[in-house]
Amino acid sequence: MKSENVVLNSSSVVPLVESLAHTRICDCYQCGKCTAGCPMAAGMDIPPTRLIRLLQLGHADRALQAQAIWQCVSCQTCATRCPKSVDCAGVMDALRQLSAERGVATPKQQRTMLFQKAFLKNIRRNGRLNELELIGEFKFSTFLHDRSLSFLFKDATLAPELMKRKKFHLVGEKAHNRAVVARIFARCMDNSPS
Amino acid sequence: MNLAYYPGCALHGSSNDYEQSLRACLETLDVQLKEIDDWICCGATAAHSLNQKLAIALPARNLALAEDEGYQQMLAPCPMCSMQLLKARKALVEDEALRRRMSEIVELEVRGDTQVLNLIQVFEAIGLDRLKAAVKAPLGSICAACYYGCLLTRPASVAEFDDCEQPRSMEKILEALGGKTVDWNYRTECCGAGMTMANEQTVLDLSHKILSNAAAHGANCLVVACPMCHVNLDMKQPAIERHYGVRHEMPIYYLSDVVGLALGFKPEALGIDRHFVCSADPAPGGVSTSDAGPARRGTGATGKV
């Protein structure tokens, strides 16, 4: 990744990450325990220890564009094992949020981001998750992005299997007070850290 | 015991078999569940990945609803939900300004004084002795790999449950019911969680390792207490087998499935016949011996397990 490709002011990002994750990046002394326990580290472009190091050195732009932040499965092993109590999983969350908000998420991991976005859109509208709608909306938004017909119809054969087992409902549940859910979303989407 | 009940979206959706079996068990064990009126989604991974404020607000609304109904304890059988509720509760209790702000955002006063329990903790509260006394069909043929996954015990500072590296609480329950358990290596490794749709390969890889390790240690089934783990290990098991060219044929039971079987319920009464691995090709006789290795596909749908 080119270092001159600065998409945002790195110096402002690190305090924001720390505030969103309620943790101190400078506490990390690079022992590598987070990466050692990470089930995804082997396939990551930048493993957790190095992501934290990039933030310490002020290269937040590179951290925000890393595939790794969207490969992370939020298993919490890194945060649990950190001898310095750095909430590495929380840092991953903060980086995902900032990367999505600023539109700098890596193109290679768009599906994961589109899934999370479709999920939130669905519960914003229904109050509860409607799985069938979510899958439809996720597949559609992904198709618009990558035009992959094979991905669009992948898993289609699971639908009848799930219906046979009465695990799939054509009409999903909704919360009654959806107006309050919409207001909660509106109040939380004003971009200021909680 | 009276508990507020937060089913979460999965248990009212594709994991309704989990709700079926836990309701059957808890009713028999005199635990009354009162579903929280008009609960909303906890936000799950989507909220904590995209909006930290929402990740507190959505569970905070549910905590406030439970508090409003006067419950001191609530059951959240999905570890994703229970972790989001616990995280929000901890944040609210530790930060008075945040608590006040969140009360305004969710339009209800939230105090954070309702205790959030997972299903294992409810069985523990009932007591191993009481469970033992209620057993009608000891789990003699079960040799289970108890699988905890991520969020039941991690992050430890929030979950405050069992040992985050070597948990034993499910093993103790299984053993009280007459079942055997195996020592194995993947009990707290991740199954791929919510990547099922967006990044299937992650789920296939991680879940394959879990199934392989359980079999290598002589387990004839996996016992889980998480709807997402069940989806990845059960529903995706045929895809894992196709991808790796292996036959795992490993039944995946919810903790409440095996408790229910020990209490004398038929598999169909617990929704076990609706699992993917256990529902096809039902063979009479069930799992024959504890050291027979992985059970045959479909054994769970028969009367004896």
Mean pLDDT for A81-108 is 95
pLDDT in tens, B258-267: 999 999 999 9
- Look at B46 and A175 and tell me if their CB atoms are within 8 Å: no
Mean pLDDT for A65-82 is 97
Mean pLDDT for B122-144 is 97
The tokens describing B76, both together, are 């959240």
pLDDT in tens, B47-76: 999 999 999 999 999 999 999 999 999 999
Residue A134's φ and ψ, nearest 5 degrees, are: -60, -45
Domain covering B136-301 assigned CATH 2.60.40.10 in the classification: no
pLDDT in tens, B237-246: 999 999 999 9
Residue B302 has pLDDT above 60, yes or no: no
How many Å lie between the alpha carbon of A14 and the closest alpha carbon of chain B? 16
Contacts of A155 in chain B (CB under 8 A): 197
Predicted-complex ipTM score: 0.93
- Look at B190 and A177 and tell me if their CB atoms are within 8 Å: no
- Look at B52 and A194 and tell me if their CB atoms are within 8 Å: yes
Residue B229 has pLDDT above 90, yes or no: yes
d(CA B255, CA B221): 11
Question: Looking at residue A170, what is its pLDDT?
Answer: 79
Residue A156 has pLDDT above 70, yes or no: yes
Query: B residues 132-171 near A, CB within 8 Å?
Result: 150-151, 154-156, 164
Residue B289 has pLDDT above 50, yes or no: no
Mean pLDDT for B68-97 is 97
Report the residue from B156, B189, B235 with minimal CB separation from A39. Answer: B189
Question: Looking at residue B111, what is its pLDDT?
Answer: 96
- Look at A173 and B12 and tell me if their CB atoms are within 8 Å: yes
Mean pLDDT for B89-108 is 98
Give me the percent of chain B exceeding a pLDDT of 70: 91
Question: Looking at residue A8, what is its pLDDT?
Answer: 57
pLDDT in tens, A12-55: 899 999 999 999 999 999 999 999 999 999 999 999 999 999 99
Of A60, A183, A122, nearest to B61 by C-alpha is A183
Report the residue from B14, B105, B188 with minimal CB separation from A168. Answer: B14
Enter the pTM of the model.
0.92
Report the residue from A73, A128, A166 with minimal CB separation from B195. Answer: A73
Mean pLDDT of chain A: 91
Contacts of B186 in chain A (CB under 8 A): none
- Nearest chain B Cα to A89, which residue? B155
Sorted by sequence, the CB contacts under 8 Å of residue B31 that are 6+ apart come out as B1, B2, B3, B122, B126
- Look at A188 and B54 and tell me if their CB atoms are within 8 Å: yes
Of A85, A92, A77, nearest to A34 by C-alpha is A77
Which CATH number fits the domain B2-117, given the four candidates 1.20.1050.140, 3.40.190.10, 1.10.760.10, 1.10.3720.10?
Answer: 1.20.1050.140
Residue B136 has pLDDT above 70, yes or no: yes
Mean pLDDT of chain B: 92
Mean pLDDT for B6-25 is 97
- Look at B46 and A116 and tell me if their CB atoms are within 8 Å: yes
- Look at B189 and A138 and tell me if their CB atoms are within 8 Å: no
Question: Looking at residue A192, what is its pLDDT?
Answer: 54
Domain chopping of chain B, boundaries: 2-117, 136-301
- Nearest chain A Cα to B156, which residue? A80
Question: Looking at residue A168, what is its pLDDT?
Answer: 84
Q: How does residue A169 score in pLDDT terms, banded at 50, 70 and 90? A: confident
Give me the percent of chain A exceeding a pLDDT of 90: 78
How many Å lie between the alpha carbon of A152 and the closest alpha carbon of chain B? 11
Residues A8, A101 contacting (CB under 8 angstroms): no
d(CA B174, CA B254): 12
Question: Looking at residue B180, what is its pLDDT?
Answer: 97
Residue B184 has pLDDT above 70, yes or no: yes
Question: Looking at residue B288, what is its pLDDT?
Answer: 35
Question: Looking at residue B50, what is its pLDDT?
Answer: 97
Report the residue from A93, A158, A184 with minimal CB separation from B52. Answer: A93
Question: Looking at residue A119, what is its pLDDT?
Answer: 97
Report the residue from A21, A73, A117 with minimal CB separation from B192. Answer: A73
In Å, how far are A170, B76, B141 from B290, measured between CA atoms? 40, 32, 5
